[in-house]
Chain A
Amino acid sequence: MKQRVLAGLLLVLLVTLGPGTGARGAVEPVKNPDTFVTLRFGDPESLDPAYAYDTASQEVIWPAVYETLIAYSGSMTSRYVPELASQVPSLANGLISKDGLTYTFPIRSGVKFHDGSTMTPEDVRYSMLRFMLQDRDGGPSWLLLTPLLGKDSTRDSKGKFQVTYQDAAKAVTVDGNNVVFHLNHPYGAFLSIMAAWSLVMPKAWAAAHGDWDGSAGTWQKYNNPKLQDRYAFDHMNGTGPFKLQQWDRQAKQVILVRNDAYWRSPAKLARVVIRTVPEFATRRLQLQRGDADFIEVNRTEQSQVQGMAGVEIRDDLPTLVLQALHFNFKIDATGNPDVGSGKLDGNGIPPDFFSDLHVRKGFAYAFDYATFIRDGYRGKAVQPNGPIIQGLLGYDPTLPKYTFDRAKATTEFKEAWGGKLWDTGFKFTLTYNTGNTVRQVGAQIMKDSIEALNPKFKVDIRNLQWSSFLQATNQHKGTLYALGWAVDYPDPDDFAQPFLASTGDYPKRNSFKDPNADRLVQEGAVTADPAKRAAIYRQLTKIAYDQVPSLYVAQPSAFVVMRSWVRGWYYNAVLSPGSLDYYALYKQ
C-alpha cells in the first residue's frame, strides 16, 4: 500500500514538474523567440576594447556593444561599409591621400552612446589614443601603433617608453567633424584594421570612472594596466545595437539587451545571453531542446550533433586560423607546478629548458601532425609551414615544414643540453584551455610521442579555464602550451608580428627574440610592393622553421552549429566563427 502511495506521489510530481514538454517528434515552435542563447566553453577575460584580445571577449565587445568607424560588408573581408563614419575613405572620394599616408573619416552625427551622451569626433580620437597608449603586454595596441607610429609597442625591450603623447596625438587629429589618421608609412591593410579595431567609447564616461582623461601628462600612468585596473574591464558604454545588462563572472554568463536608441533601426532580438558551459554533452542537450540557439562544438564532437532534428551545421568554412604549440623560452618558475622540480634532474625542467634549439627541434620532429589532423579535425585541416598560412600574401607551399620523424627527434634530443638531456630525462606539464577537445587531442599526441621516445621523458597534461589560461601564459607561466591565433585583419602582418616579432603576442609571452625576425616584420609592415612583401614573409617563414619558436600544427576549416530557426547568420572569416553579428540575427 505504502509503495503504491509513493508511486502515485512520484507520478503526480513528474506530471506537475514537466507539463507538456515531452512531445518529441512534434514540430517545435521557436523557443524564446526574442532571446538568442549562445553556449561556449570559454569565458571572457575582459570587456575593455583596448585590453581584450581573445575570441571569447571579442564576441561580447564587437560588433554587438562597441562599434567601429567602418565595418566589413557582410561576408566580404575586402569591402567595407560606413558605420560610425559616414563614408568609407578611398582614393576616389579623396578621403585617402594620394601618398596613402592620410585617412579621413567623416564622423556620423547623432549617434548616441548607451549612457545617452552623443558621440563626437573627440570621443573617436580619444578612443584611438587610448587604444594605442594603454598598450598592455600581449594586448591589441600594436594593431594601431604599427601603421600610425611605426612601432609596435609603446615600450622598448627594456620597458622604457619609446613613444610620446605628442607622437600619438599627431597621428590622430580632429578636423571639424572629421577624424584624420596620419600614417607613419603607407599601409594597404589600414582599412581592414579600422573595420575591426577602431572601437569607440565616450571620453567623459571613461574619465569620470577613473580612466585616462586624455591629457598629455598622465597617459604613462595608465599604460600597461593589470587586468582589472580599468572601469571598462567589466562595464561597457558603446554605441552598438546591444547594451551590457550584466556580466556574472560567477555564473559565467553575459546578458546583452537591445539598445532601443540605436542609430540604425533597433535589433530584432531583444536580448542575447552568452553563457559558458564547459561540458559538451550539456551544451549539446540544450541545443537539442532548443534552450540554446548556437553552441560551440569542437571538430572531435561534430559527429554528435550531426543529424539532430532542428539543428543546422554549416561546414567547410575557410578560416584564417592557426593552431600552434608554443615554447616558452623563459618560464616563470615561481610557484609554477608545471615545471616540476624546476631543474634538469629528470623530475622537472629548468626555466630556460626550451631555449635550447635541439629541444625545440626534438619536439617538432616528435609530433605526429597527420594523426593530429585526422583525429583532431577529422581531416579538415592542413599543416602550415609557418605562421604565414594559406590565403595570406607570402604563403609558399614549397617551403619546408617539420614531419613526424622519430629518428630525427631522437637525434635532436641526444644533442640537447650538451648531450645530457637524453640521460637525465625531463618532466613538465603541457597546458591547454578547458573544453577544447581538439587541443586535448594534440596534447595527448605530443605526450604519447615524447614518452615513447625515451622512458625518462615525461609530459603531463592539464587544462585551465580560458581566462585563467590566458593570464597564466601572459605571466610567463606556460611551458609548452596549445593556443591558436584567429585573424584580426586579413594581412600577413597580422600573423608575422604576433608570432615572430619580439614585441608580438607570443614572443612576449614566451620571451622569444630574433633580431632578423624583428627587422623583417618591420620591413613587411612598411613595404607597399606586394612582391617585395611576399618575399619578406617567405623569409620569415624560413626563420620560423629554423628557430622553431612554435609548432604550427594546423590550419583548420571551420563549422558552426545552430538551431535551424536562426536567421540572418552569415560567415565572415574575420568575425566568425569566434563571434556572431547579433544585430543581423533573429529567430523564425
Chain B
Amino acid sequence: MTTFIARRLALLPFVAVGVTVLIFSLLQFLTPAMRASLYIHDPKQLNALPDIIRKYDLDRPVYIQYWGWLRQVLHGDLGWSETAREPVADAIRGYFPATLELGMYSFACILALGIWLGTAAAVNKDRALDHLSRFTSISGASLPTFVWALLLLMVFYGHFGWFPPGRLSLDADLYVRGGQFHAYTGLMTIDALLNGQWWIFWDAVRHLVLPVATLTYYLTAVLVRITRSSMLETLRTDYVRTAEAKGLSHHVVIDKHARRNAMIPVITLGSLLFVGLLSGVVITETVFNLPGIGRWGVGASQQLDIPAVTGFALVFAGLLVLANLCADVLYAVVDPRIRLR
C-alpha cells in the first residue's frame, strides 16, 4: 500500500506542472497589460503597468515568463484581485473557509445518505424503498437548487424561525468579531469548539442546516443512482451468491462483501462531488448569504478579474489533483487488486 501511495505521490508534481502549463498557456491569449495584473499585490502598483511588464519579462519568450510566474506562485503570490480589492491569496484565504465548511458537512451527509439509500434501494429492488429512493433522486435532481433552497428557507426560517441564513446570528457574529474569539481555521464550527464556545458552535450548526440540506438533497440523487446500479451489478455476481450459500447473514453479505466492491464508481463520483462542492456552490451561497468562494469567483469572472480567476483555477486544479489522489488510494483500499496491477 505504501509503495502504491508513494508511486501516486511521485506523479503529483508532474500533474501539477501540467496543470500550471495549461493555465499559463491560456493566459497567453491575454495582452501583456492584462497579464501584468497577475504580478500586482498592492493597488499602488496599478499605476506602474509598463514597469511591471518589463520587470517580469512579459514581452519576452513564453518559457521565461512561465518560470517567473511559477516562482511567484510558489511564493504564494497570486496577484491582485480588483473585485475583492485585496491580494488573490488573501481573498481565497478569506472566502474559502465558508465554502469549505459548507462543502465538508454537505459531503458527509451526501455520502452517508447516498450510499445508504442507494444500497437499500438495490437490496429492496422494486419494493417501496426502491421507489422512494427513485422518487427522491428524480425530484432532487429535477428541482432547481434555488427553488429548493428558497422553499427550505421560507418554511424553516420564515415560518418556524429555526434555521436562519448567514453564518452566525447577530449576537454570535458580534462576539466573534469582538476580539475575544480566535479564528484558528475560519470554520465557525471548529473554531467555536477550539474556543470552547458551545453556544457559537450550535449557532453555526443552525446556520448550516439549510444550506447543507439543500446541497444534500440536490446532490445525493446522483450518488443514490450510481450506488444502486453498482450494487445491483455486484449483487448479481457469483461471489455474493457463494457468500449467501455459505450461510452468511444477509447483513454481513451486503455490508462486508457486496457494498465494498460496489464502491469504485461511488469513490470516483464522490471525489468529483467533493471538488465541485469546494469550488463554490454559487446559488446556495447566494440564497443563504454565505460569503463563500463561489460568489466571489462568479463576480470575479463577470468582471474579467484575471488574477482572481487564475488563482481560483489554480487552487481548484490543485484540489482536483488531490481528490484524484485520494480516490486512487481509496480504490486500492476497497479493491486490493488495483494495488497489484
> Contacts A291-B170, A337-B304 given: A468-B161 contact, CB under 8 Å?
no
* Interface residue ranges of B255-296 to A (CB < 8 Å): 286-289, 291, 296
Q: Is the CB of B162 within 8 A of A14?
A: yes
Q: Is the CB of A250 within 8 A of B84?
A: yes
Question: Scoring A residues 269 to 286 as 1 if CB is less than 8 Å from chain B, else 0, what string do you get?
Answer: 001010001110110011
Q: Is the CB of B170 within 8 A of A22?
A: no
Contact of B336 with A by CB under 8 A:
no
Tell me the count of chain B residues lying within 8 A, CB to CB, of chain A: 49
Q: Is the CB of A286 within 8 A of B165?
A: yes
Interface 9-residue window, one of B67-75, B201-209, B234-242: B201-209
Residue of B30, B46, B158, B303 near A289 (CB, 8 A) is B158
CB distance from A147 to the nearest CB of B (A): 32
Contact of B107 with A by CB under 8 A:
no
Tell me the count of chain A residues lying within 8 A, CB to CB, of chain B: 44
Contact of A228 with B by CB under 8 A:
yes
CB-based nearest B residue for A338: B304
Question: Scoring B residues 188 to 212 as 1 if CB is less than 8 Å from chain A, else 0, what string do you get?
Answer: 0000000000000010011001000
CB distance from B64 to the nearest CB of A (A): 23
Write out the residue numbers on chain A whose beta carbons fall within 8 Å of the beta carbon of B95. 250
Q: Is the CB of A271 within 8 A of B174?
A: yes
Q: Is the CB of B291 within 8 A of A251?
A: yes
Write out the residue numbers on chain A whose beta carbons fall within 8 Å of the beta carbon of B169. 291
In the bound assembly, the distance between CA atoms of A251 and B162 in angstroms comes to 22
Contact of B13 with A by CB under 8 A:
no
* Interface residue ranges of A252-288 to B (CB < 8 Å): 252, 255, 271, 273, 277-279, 281-282, 285-286, 288
Residue of A21, A334, A471 near B33 (CB, 8 A) is A334
Q: Is the CB of B43 within 8 A of A226?
A: yes
Write out the residue numbers on chain B whose beta carbons fall within 8 Å of the beta carbon of A14. 162
Contact of B86 with A by CB under 8 A:
yes
Contact of B44 with A by CB under 8 A:
yes
Interface 9-residue window, one of B149-157, B224-232, B319-327: B149-157
Contact of A32 with B by CB under 8 A:
yes
> Contacts A17-B205, A285-B153 given: A35-B160 contact, CB under 8 Å?
no
CB-based nearest B residue for A16: B202
Contact of A307 with B by CB under 8 A:
no
Residue of B44, B289, B291 near A226 (CB, 8 A) is B44
CB-based nearest A residue for B305: A468
Write out the residue numbers on chain A whose beta carbons fall within 8 Å of the beta carbon of B34. 334-335
Contact of B302 with A by CB under 8 A:
yes
CB distance from A243 to the nearest CB of B (A): 14
Question: Scoring A residues 221 to 250 as 1 if CB is less than 8 Å from chain B, else 0, what string do you get?
Answer: 000001111000000000000000110111
* Interface residue ranges of A16-67 to B (CB < 8 Å): 16-18, 21-22, 24, 32, 35, 37
Q: Is the CB of B209 within 8 A of A17?
A: yes
Contact of A472 with B by CB under 8 A:
yes
Q: Is the CB of B287 within 8 A of A279?
A: yes
> Contacts A227-B85, A249-B86, A465-B83 given: A335-B154 contact, CB under 8 Å?
no
Q: Is the CB of A255 within 8 A of B302?
A: no
In the bound assembly, the distance between CA atoms of A164 and B290 in angstroms comes to 49
In the bound assembly, the distance between CA atoms of A14 and B197 in angstroms comes to 20
Contact of B337 with A by CB under 8 A:
no
Contact of A462 with B by CB under 8 A:
yes
Q: Is the CB of A281 within 8 A of B150?
A: yes
* Interface residue ranges of A465-508 to B (CB < 8 Å): 465, 468, 471-472
Write out the residue numbers on chain B whose beta carbons fall within 8 Å of the beta carbon of A91. none
Q: Is the interface of B mostly helix, strand, loop or mixed?
A: helix
Write out the residue numbers on chain B whose beta carbons fall within 8 Å of the beta carbon of A252. 291
Residue of B85, B170, B304 near A273 (CB, 8 A) is B170
Residue of B91, B162, B165, B288 near A250 (CB, 8 A) is B91
Q: Is the CB of A249 within 8 A of B84?
A: yes
Contact of A464 with B by CB under 8 A:
yes
> Contacts A32-B170, A35-B170 given: A282-B153 contact, CB under 8 Å?
yes
In the bound assembly, the distance between CA atoms of A24 and B162 in angstroms comes to 12
Contact of B311 with A by CB under 8 A:
no
Q: Is the CB of A37 within 8 A of B170?
A: yes
Q: Is the CB of A281 within 8 A of B177?
A: no
Q: Is the CB of B153 within 8 A of A17?
A: no
In the bound assembly, the distance between CA atoms of A37 and B164 in angstroms comes to 15
Q: Is the CB of A468 within 8 A of B83?
A: yes
Residue in A245, A277, A291, A336 with the greatest tally of chain B CB atoms within 10 Å: A291
Write out the residue numbers on chain B whose beta carbons fall within 8 Å of the beta carbon of A462. 302
Write out the residue numbers on chain A whose beta carbons fall within 8 Å of the beta carbon of B303. 464, 468, 472
CB distance from B249 to the nearest CB of A (A): 16
CB distance from B173 to the nearest CB of A (A): 8
In the bound assembly, the distance between CA atoms of A472 and B302 in angstroms comes to 11
In the bound assembly, the distance between CA atoms of A229 and B159 in angstroms comes to 46
Write out the residue numbers on chain B whose beta carbons fall within 8 Å of the beta carbon of A471. 82
Contact of B47 with A by CB under 8 A:
yes
Write out the residue numbers on chain A whose beta carbons fall within 8 Å of the beta carbon of B287. 279, 281-282
Q: Is the CB of B153 within 8 A of A255?
A: no
CB-based nearest A residue for B177: A246
Q: Is the CB of B84 within 8 A of A282?
A: no
* Interface residue ranges of B34-50 to A (CB < 8 Å): 34, 43-44, 46-47
Residue of B85, B91, B163 near A18 (CB, 8 A) is B163
Contact of B180 with A by CB under 8 A:
no
CB distance from B132 to the nearest CB of A (A): 11
Write out the residue numbers on chain B whose beta carbons fall within 8 Å of the beta carbon of A336. 304
In the bound assembly, the distance between CA atoms of A226 and B91 in angstroms comes to 20
In the bound assembly, the distance between CA atoms of A462 and B82 in angstroms comes to 18
Question: Scoring A residues 295 to 321 as 1 if CB is less than 8 Å from chain B, else 0, what string do you get?
Answer: 000000000000000000000000000
Q: Is the CB of B43 within 8 A of A335?
A: no
Write out the residue numbers on chain A whose beta carbons fall within 8 Å of the beta carbon of B163. 17-18
In the bound assembly, the distance between CA atoms of A400 and B164 in angstroms comes to 51
Contact of B2 with A by CB under 8 A:
no
> Contacts A250-B84, A271-B174, A273-B170 given: A289-B206 contact, CB under 8 Å?
no
Residue of A17, A246, A282, A291 near B202 (CB, 8 A) is A17
Contact of B76 with A by CB under 8 A:
no
Residue in A245, A281, A334 with the greatest tally of chain B CB atoms within 10 Å: A281
> Contacts A250-B291, A281-B153, A282-B289 given: A228-B85 contact, CB under 8 Å?
yes
* Interface residue ranges of A348-383 to B (CB < 8 Å): none
Q: List 25 A-B contacts (CB under 8 A).
A: A16-B202, A17-B162, A17-B163, A17-B206, A21-B162, A22-B160, A32-B170, A226-B43, A249-B86, A250-B94, A255-B174, A281-B150, A281-B154, A282-B153, A282-B288, A285-B154, A289-B164, A291-B164, A291-B170, A334-B31, A335-B31, A335-B34, A335-B306, A468-B83, A468-B303
New contact pairs (6) apart from A17-B162, A250-B84, CB-CB < 8 Å: A228-B85, A250-B95, A255-B177, A281-B287, A291-B170, A336-B304
Query: What are the 7 A-B residue pairs with the smallest beta carbon separation, nearest first?
Result: A18-B162, A21-B161, A228-B43, A250-B94, A22-B160, A285-B158, A251-B291
Chain B residues packing against A (C-beta within 8 Å): 30-31, 33-34, 43-44, 46-47, 82-86, 91, 94-95, 150, 153-154, 157-165, 167, 169-171, 174, 177, 202, 205-206, 209, 286-289, 291, 296, 299, 302-304, 306
Chain A residues packing against B (C-beta within 8 Å): 14, 16-18, 21-22, 24, 32, 35, 37, 226-229, 245-246, 248-252, 255, 271, 273, 277-279, 281-282, 285-286, 288-289, 291, 334-337, 462, 464-465, 468, 471-472
